[in-house]
Amino acid sequence: MRILLIEDDPDLGPAIAKALRAENCAVDLVADGIDAQHLGDTERYDAAVLDLGLPGHDGIAILRAWREGARGLPVLILTARDGWSDKVAGFKAGADDFMTKPFRIEELMMRLRALVRRASGHAAARITCGPLVFDSQTGQFELEGLPLKLTALEWRVLSTLMLSKETVIARLDLLERVYEGDAEVDSNSLEVIIGRLRKKIGADLIETVRGRGYRVTAATPAASE
């Protein structure tokens, strides 16, 4: 998952980002409302974690602008404001979830995973494609009933493909979801990751659709595009 984290606290923001990265997320951390709105308008994210009290634009104004601009990314408001009126304002502006500080990072991660799963059209947490199973709530993969060990980048690629199983994901879309905004990306890095994944889960489960991108599929090679 690629997460846009908007938090202006100089200690809390990096701490949340570190915790999310430990859960294999790619995180872009911004502390200014103007920059946050711009990134949400121009970059691809699986979800955003949005503080309300920000310099530049406040969180409600950012969220309202995204929704008026038809930006549908899931947004979880994370704020110290715990009044009922703040929650009402957040949901009216288009929030998908609302958490108050202090909080547990485990709960934040569970809520983010649920938001991303539902936004991808999955009601159940466990997503299956042939012998491969992805538990989107715990973040764990299984292959033929056994735990599958993946690097952070492999996890990001495979989870993105599994959340959209049987659907082609463009190469650029994958790259934008796997790497953080300031990362230096080698032009062949995605192909290297795909190659490593095929060695771990089998070559047939990840299909290259020439000129379009990649998809995970349970179809046999003869029945695929």
Same domain, 187 and 109: no
Question: Reduced to 3 states, what is the DSSP secondary structure of residue 8?
Answer: coil
Q: Are 167 and 142 in contact (CB under 8 A)?
A: no
Q: Where are the alpha helices (DSSP H) in 69-220?
A: 84-93, 105-119, 152-163, 171-178, 189-201
Among 119, 134, 167, where does a domain finish?
119
Q: How many CB atoms lie within 10 A of CB 152?
A: 14
Q: In the prediction, which pLDDT does 178 show?
A: 86
Residues 67 and 155 in one domain: no
Please check whether residues 111 and 219 belong to one and the same domain: no
- Contact status, residue 105 vs residue 19, Cβ threshold 8 Å: yes
Question: What pLDDT is recorded for position 176?
Answer: 85
Computed over every residue of the chain, the mean pLDDT equals: 93
Instruction: Give yes or no: residues 24 and 110 share one domain.
Output: yes
Query: Do residue 215 and residue 134 come from a single domain?
Result: yes
Peptide bond into 102 cis (omega under 30): yes
Spatial CA neighbour of 189 closest among 171, 169, 206: 171
pLDDT digits (tens, 9 = 90+) for 47-81: 999 999 999 899 999 999 999 999 999 999 999 99
Pick from 119, 137, 171: which residue ends a domain? Answer: 119
Rounded to an integer, what distance in angstroms lies between the CA atom of residue 53 and that of residue 7? Answer: 9
Domain of residue 108, residue span? 2-119
Low-confidence stretches of the chain (pLDDT beneath 70)? 182-183, 187, 220-225
Assess contact for 31 and 24: CB atoms under 8 A.
no
pTM for the whole thing? 0.90
Check whether residue 184 and residue 208 sit in a common domain: yes
What does the pLDDT read at residue 124?
Answer: 93
146 and 112 in one domain?
no
Report how many domains make up the chain. Answer: 2
Last residue of a domain, one of 119, 135, 151: 119
**The pLDDT of residue 222:** 43
Looking at the structure, tell me whether residues 110 and 146 fall in a common domain.
no
Same domain, 146 and 195: yes
Looking at residue 180, its pLDDT comes to: 83
We report the CATH number of the domain holding residue 147 as 1.10.10.10
Q: What is the pLDDT of residue 184?
A: 73
Query: Degrees (nearest 5) of the Cα angle 58, 63, 69?
Result: 130
pLDDT tens-digit readout, 33-49: 999 999 999 999 999 99
